[in-house]
Chains A and B, each alone.
Chain A
Amino acid sequence: MAEISPYSIVEKGAKLASDVVVGPFCYIGGSVKLGSGCVVENNVTIVGQTTIGEKNHIYPMAVIGQTLDGDENKGKCVIGSANNFREHSTIYAGTAKEPTRIGKNNLIMIACQVGAGTKMGDHGIFANCTHIADRAIIEDYVRTSAFSFVDSGIRVGAYTFTAGYVQVDHDAPPFAMIQGSPYRVRGVNTHNLKQCGFGEAEIRSLKRAFRDLYNGTGDLKQDVLKALAADKKANQYVKTLVSYLKSCKPKEADND
């Protein structure tokens, strides 16, 4: 039987695995499923049709599965295993058609917000006050700094690092370091790539590709992209980058 504090409310119908720990003053709604090894500390709210996988750690004051339209039983949220949800983080629930999905091994730090219908990959680290708006797509191994803002419906590529105070207002490429508001591509996220086991030659080829494509600006050079796409000798990561950039929505022209 799950270890539930007598001060907490767990509604009838909630499915908690046998070794789940729930601290005091929590509220867990009736359609919530918690996998084995989950630790829910105090003052946590989990509502809606939320499925949480194994070994997640949810810290005090986190709120998971709420919706903004008031009917919190309809919202749907699917969360993988071994994530950490730090204090005051908020995960909004999506709709049954388009649920909020979070992969595994993510660290979602203090006061982060993940919008409704967001699809988040694995192994991400999201620093304090990262605000991800609704229906965004965050790929694997993304690192964000404090006060990063991802606008709604925007994609952030795998292994990308966003500096502090970045507003990601159009699709961000993979493997990149981006900075500013609106953002510019500042280079390749070499530190993260090395940690993830990329070789020197691969990083060098990515660096060359980024230098040609962006040259320190936020604007993609389409002719260089075409030339890279035609290059048959490019390695798999450059190919990934090119195919990603081809599928991106183009940046909207500035009005001012």
Chain B
Amino acid sequence: MIECKTKSEIHPSARVAPDAKIGPFCVIGPDVTIGPGTVLGRRVTVTGNTTIGSGNIIGDGCVLGATPQDLKYRGADCLLVIGHNNRIGRNVTVHIGTEPGGYVTRIGDDNFLMEGVHVAHDCFVDNRVHLGRMVQLAGHILIQDGVVMDDMSGAHHFVTIGRYARVGRRTPVRRDVPPYTNFFTEDYGWTAPSVRGVHEAGITAADLKRDEELELRRTLSDLFEDESALQMKIEQLENMGVEGEAAALCEFCQRSLAGKFGRDRESYRGQVPPEAAAILSPEKLAEIQRNKK
């Protein structure tokens, strides 16, 4: 990487770590923090109230922390928080949060975002997530640990994608995806995509104990042999007593079923979700509460 600070516009009040490398033609705004060891490629724009952690590699042409595309956004000082050791490919766009969505967009640690990925306002991408080329995430989405989304898949707003699930290529996700499952489409948009089997690589990556893994596999095959009468099957399983990851899977499915349109996070519409409340300062939260009244 060529260190070429003379050809980049870095605002004097931006806090850039001394060993961060900034490529040519970058623009860095006034409220930006960039951690040590982070490498920015060429033509990267970082604006807004954006914090980037350490050891991130950010490719050419990325735009991080721009204003949301949401018409609800009224120009408040919202945050984008990016963790450590992420690999972000070329032309990735990540937006800051909105006022009604909870003020925060967050990307965790060790994620891999390929070319053209868009992470919209108020999204929470946890750790070790792999987003393929051109994956488009709408607003208010939660992507849990270890999720794999293949090329050109997209997610509707307020969707949750469960731990270590995999979304197939070109799949529109309109409802929650249960953990450890494959979620595919076959005919590109006429019928709703559905759960098609277990994501084996996800179970391997989760590194579960042997008993826990067996119970999880049994629960998955019970629930998703076919997706009919899911509610009844979950209740049966819970009466029998499940533990660990299997219990978490049952709870996830139940919450999704209870949510509007099969999306649990619809209940956070116009509210500050718990993930955002963990990041915001107490003063800010108090201010939001006051503004609501």
Contact = CB atoms under 8 A, between A and B. Distances in A.
Interface of A: 5, 7, 23-25, 41-43, 59-61, 86-88, 107, 109-111, 128-129, 146-147, 163-166, 179-181, 184
22 contacts: A5-B9, A24-B9, A24-B27, A25-B9, A42-B45, A59-B66, A60-B27, A60-B45, A60-B66, A61-B45, A86-B66, A87-B93, A88-B61, A107-B69, A110-B93, A111-B116, A146-B136, A163-B172, A179-B189, A179-B190, A181-B189, A181-B190
A87 B189 contact: no
A172 B116 CA distance: 28
Contact of A86 (B45, B69, B138, B190): B69
B154 interface: yes
Contacts of A147: 136, 152, 154
B196 interface: no
Given A7-B9, A43-B43, A111-B116, A87 B66 contact: yes
Main secondary structure of the interface of B (DSSP, over half): loop
Contacts of B63: 59-61, 87-88
B116 A164 contact: no
Contacts of A128: 118, 136
Given A60-B63, A110-B118, A164 B91 contact: no
Given A60-B45, A87-B63, A164 B190 contact: no
A25 B69 contact: no
Nearest to A184: B190
B25 interface: yes
A129 B27 contact: no
A5 B11 CA distance: 13
B170 A165 contact: yes
Contacts of B156: 164
B66 A164 contact: no
B159 to A, nearest CB: 12
Contacts of A166: 189
A180 B189 contact: yes
B268 interface: no
Given A24-B27, A42-B9, A165-B170, 18 more contacts: A5-B9, A41-B45, A43-B25, A43-B61, A59-B66, A86-B66, A86-B69, A87-B66, A88-B61, A88-B91, A107-B69, A111-B93, A147-B136, A165-B154, A179-B189, A179-B190, A180-B188, A184-B190
Interface string B43-72: 101000000000000000101001001000
Interface residues of B, number: 25
Main secondary structure of the interface of A (DSSP, over half): loop
A169 B169 CA distance: 22
B177 interface: no
Contacts of B7: 7
A43 B189 contact: no
Question: Which of A60, A129, A179 has the most chain B CB within a 10 Å cutoff?
Answer: A60
Contacts of A110: 69, 93, 118
Contacts of B93: 87-88, 110-111
Given A146-B136, A180-B188, A23 B66 contact: no
A180 B136 contact: no
A41 B134 CA distance: 23
A209 to B, nearest CB: 23
A112 B166 CA distance: 26
Nearest to A108: B69
Given A25-B27, A88-B61, A146-B154, A61 B43 contact: yes
A90 to B, nearest CB: 12
B95 to A, nearest CB: 9
Question: Which of A88, A110, A129, A166 has the most chain B CB within a 10 Å cutoff?
Answer: A110
B91 to A, nearest CB: 6
A181 B188 contact: yes
B136 A129 contact: yes
Interface in B252-292: none
A164 B27 CA distance: 33
A61 B61 CA distance: 7
Contacts of B69: 86, 107, 109-110
